[in-house]
């Protein structure tokens, strides 16, 4: 039961990160979007190394004979079954939003800099969170 709870908590954090990507893009928090991208890619690396399965699934399997899609996580069965597809698509959509917004913002800043006589963009100009 503790493994199932831990797995669910980790899933909520990672799913929340993926859902946050477009919000970060719209609010021009590109550094945070980059951090979340790295976190998601690390998670996918762990899954890839483990044959497409979360290592916690293998640990949970030691304690039950249940093999429903959600035996190791507190999610509805349909979501546990299609989790990778749903959140994989949401991740790519979020990344397209981030990249599109970044291109729009940086080209807008570059145009403003050219019009004002400045040369290029400072990194801090891309993220309003930077002092």
Q: Record the pTM.
A: 0.78
Quick one: CA torsion of 63, 64, 69, 72, rounded to 10 degrees? -30
Which pLDDT score is estimated for 117?
55
Q: CA–CA separation, 70 vs 58, rounded Å?
A: 13
Inter-residue contact 3 to 59 (CB < 8 Å): yes
Q: Is the pLDDT confidence value at 45 over 50? A: yes
Domain count, the chain: 1
Residue 104 lies in a domain: yes
Q: What is the pLDDT of residues 49-59, one digit of tens each?
A: 999 999 999 99
Residue 116 lies in a domain: yes
Residue 22 lies in a domain: yes
Residue 131 lies in a domain: no
Q: Which domain holds residue 86?
A: 2-126
Residue 66 lies in a domain: yes
Q: What is the DSSP letter of 119?
A: -
Q: What is the pLDDT of residues 89-111, one digit of tens each?
A: 999 999 999 999 999 999 876 55
Q: Residue 113: pLDDT band by 50, 70, 90 thresholds?
A: low
102: helix, strand or coil: helix
Cβ count near 99 (within 10 Å): 13
Inter-residue contact 76 to 70 (CB < 8 Å): yes
Which pLDDT score is estimated for 79?
97
């Amino acid at each position: 039961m503790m493994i199932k709870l831990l797995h669910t908590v980790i899933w909520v954090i990672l799913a929340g990160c993926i859902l946050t990507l477009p919000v970060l893009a719209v609010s021009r928090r590109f550094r945070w979007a980059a951090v979340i991208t790295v976190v998601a890619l690390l998670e996918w690396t762990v899954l890839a190394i483990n044959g497409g399965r979360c290592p916690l699934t293998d640990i949970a399997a030691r304690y039950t004979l249940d093999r429903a899609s959600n035996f190791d996580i507190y999610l509805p069965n349909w979501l546990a079954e299609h989790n990778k597809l749903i959140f994989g698509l949401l991740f790519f959509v979020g990344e397209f939003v981030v990249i599109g917004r970044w291109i729009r913002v940086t080209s807008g800043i570059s145009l403003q800099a050219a019009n004002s006589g400045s040369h290029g963009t400072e990194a801090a100009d891309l993220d309003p969170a930077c002092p």
